[in-house]
Amino acid sequence: MNEHPTDSLPLGVSIEGDRGVIRVYSANADSIEFLVLDPSDSSKVEQRITLKPVGDDIWQASSPAIREGVHYALRASGPDGPRHGFNNTINLIDPYSRGVVRESAREFHNVVIDRSFDWQGVEKPKTALKDTVIYEAHARGLTRGNLELHDDIRGTYAALAHPSTIAHLKEIGITAVELLPVQMFISEPRLMNMGLINYWGYNTINFFTPHHRYASTGAIEAGPQAIVEEFKTAVRELHRAGIEVILDVVYNHTAEGGARGLTYSFRGLDNSSYYRQDDQGNYHDTTGCGNSLDFSNPRVVDLVMDSLRYWTEEMQVDGFRFDLATTLARDASNQFDPNHEMLRRMVEDPILADSKLIVEPWDVGLGGWQTGGFPDRFSEWNDRYRDSVRRFWLTDIATARNSGRYDNGVAELATRLAGSRDIVDGPSGPLGGINFITAHDGFCLHDLVTYNVKHNQMNGEGNRDGNNNNYSFNHGAEGEVSDVAINIQRRRAERNMMATLMLSAGIPMVTAGDEVSKTQLGNNNAYCQDSTLSWVNWNLHPHQQELKQTFAYLSRMRRENGSLRQPNFGNFDEAQVGSDMVKWFSETGQILTEDQWNNAQQRTIMRLVSHINTDGSLNTTLLVIHGAETEIEITLPVTAHDWHVLWDSSKEVPPAKTQKLKAETRVKMGPTSMLLLRAD
């Protein structure tokens, strides 16, 4: 067998001259058929074409009937046995299909599409990692609540390309939209029986087809060709505005579920080869979703590589975030291998050379937590960052209110601010980590400061689902309140966490809606809620508009100051090209001592960073963090320059103009607040 057989023998349908060719992988089938279906009634078979084995477990057929626009299905027969799932009465989705039609909850068929498109000369933005600000968004939920859009396009790919959407993203300084899964997925029968759906989409059934439900009404009626073109148009227009598109991809499992799940595609073609299982047919599930694809099989690796190349080349996306990525690198013994062929081929593939590769570095299997364990080419979701920031600004404050003492000082937070070298100490420096405080999974920012416990009753699981350990703090009352003092504290906590994220070394990721204080009413697992609960709110109250202004301002500060987006871990001596100078001070303006560093009651710290710009000029900023509910007077460090106060988190809105201060000036800070200063 060739190392990468699909390089020379493409699977799925390809048009070769005046004939079409279908190639399908199956190591265990006895026969495979290509059914040409009546486009107006897919239950009618117009022609049956028998595929023949051509070596390397590939089945092939060639016919003039296989052409663009044809509707088709696959059927396969094979042996019985606990590892097999053959049933030659079921129409199967071609794993390499670029167009899939959903006829009903359990019935699908394929369409051969024209893969050409006019990109109008628009190229990928290719934003450097150090300049990247990621916006994790749901393709439907981002725009479904934008009532300025016509009903037919709200919540669609077309809406992503709408000027109002792009204007919002540009205003708040976003450089890359990371879309929750848009590869075709289906909802689990359990959810559908409860009248719910899989809203997030982590239940993929085909790795090449855009999810149909996110297309406009007209595109859905026109069929897969129009859906693909609408998605491509969205990518093109975002690129035209300088905004990259990253896809959250789910290659770790499929929607076919466990051994008793329904058959749609992979199980019916070769259950034994695609899924990790024992000889009795028991699935080895490291995803919590019923099955796990077997990445010890080179053909599964080929499938994922071909999918990544397709979305990179033909769909022009800029990168990928790999869900439960540890599963992708499990070897034949089901152990995580950082040198796994799947990871190695992604790193080495020239087509992916400019793609952003982001991993969720864990799964639910044995040894699944692998944060810091992936090759340097990958940027990893940093869950330690998330938890450290939440503890400092939320649960530590709650603890101090109750006991008068804090659980944590400044050491852990400073490590996260500096790029988490204890986790991602590789050649990429801080850019090896994705910093985030919230994501689609868990409390949104507003709910972190509003609820002490989750409120997931709407999910139909008796509030048993979702994480119980959220490091949240409601500031004195559960849920929404009219108490002015509590709301002031909550809004300040939101600003402090948002600023910590935007002013840390590493790549920041913000969850869509956090910039406008979106709430999910305490639901920290809204995966099945396709409603206003999950959608971004575009009709903003004054305090939401103020937070949006603050986020936009912080984005601009990060963009304008190289010292606020460090691409390196820095040094303690002096700024050099490729190595920023970083120093840490206490509230007295003196270098932080080891005792202060390790003291859990030390809650004030200053970070001084000097960065040499590309033109040789020096950019120096001072970030002051005070994590206690008391006022404090700080002394600015001894420096050879004056300071401009760029931002104060105790203020509801960014300043109209900066305030100038001398070195060694004593400055009063309010409770739980931050200051950002820049050297004159």
Active-site residue set: 323, 360
The C-alpha atoms of residue 277 and residue 271 are separated, in whole angstroms, by: 9
Residue 186 makes CB contacts below 8 A (sequence gap 6+) with 102, 105, 198, 203, 205, 255, 264
The C-alpha atoms of residue 449 and residue 452 are separated, in whole angstroms, by: 8
The C-alpha atoms of residue 78 and residue 31 are separated, in whole angstroms, by: 7
H or E element: which one contains 443? none
Residue 400 has a CB neighbour count (10 Å cut-off) of: 18
How would you list the strands of the sheet with 41-55, edge to edge?
12-16, 19-25, 58-63, 41-55, 31-38, 71-77, 108-111, 100-102
H or E element: which one contains 641? none
- For residues 557 and 654, the answer to whether their CB atoms sit within 8 Å is no
Residue 247 has a CB neighbour count (10 Å cut-off) of: 23
The C-alpha atoms of residue 294 and residue 276 are separated, in whole angstroms, by: 5
How many residues can be counted in the chain? 680
- For residues 643 and 667, the answer to whether their CB atoms sit within 8 Å is no
Convert 241-262 into a string of H (helix), E (strand) and C (coil): CCCEEEEEECCCCCCCCCCCCC
Q: How far is CA 663 from CA 60, 491, 614, 630, in A?
A: 76, 30, 27, 24
Q: Per-residue DSSP letters for 620-633?
A: EEEEEEE-SSS-EE
H or E element: which one contains 555? helix 542-560
The C-alpha atoms of residue 521 and residue 375 are separated, in whole angstroms, by: 38
Instruction: State the pairing for strand pair 673-679/643-648.
Output: antiparallel
| Residue at token pair 């008391």 | 630
The C-alpha atoms of residue 212 and residue 129 are separated, in whole angstroms, by: 31
The C-alpha atoms of residue 294 and residue 304 are separated, in whole angstroms, by: 11
Q: Is the dihedral of CA 581, 584, 587, 592 positive or negative?
A: negative
Q: Per-residue DSSP letters for 381-433?
A: E-HHHHHHHHIIIIIHHHHHHHHSS-S--SHHHHHHHTT-TTT--STTGGGGE
How would you list the strands of the sheet with 618-626, edge to edge?
581-585, 604-612, 618-626, 673-679, 643-648, 659-661
- For residues 311 and 281, the answer to whether their CB atoms sit within 8 Å is no
In angstroms, how far is CA 641 from the centroid of its own chain? 41
The C-alpha atoms of residue 633 and residue 661 are separated, in whole angstroms, by: 14
Q: Per-residue DSSP letters for 17-82?
A: TTEEEEEEE-SS-SEEEEEEEETTEEEEEEEEEEEEEEETTEEEEEETTS-TT-EEEEEEE---ST
Q: Is the dihedral of CA 669, 671, 672, 673 positive or negative?
A: negative
What tokens were used for 592? 């932080």
DSSP 328: G
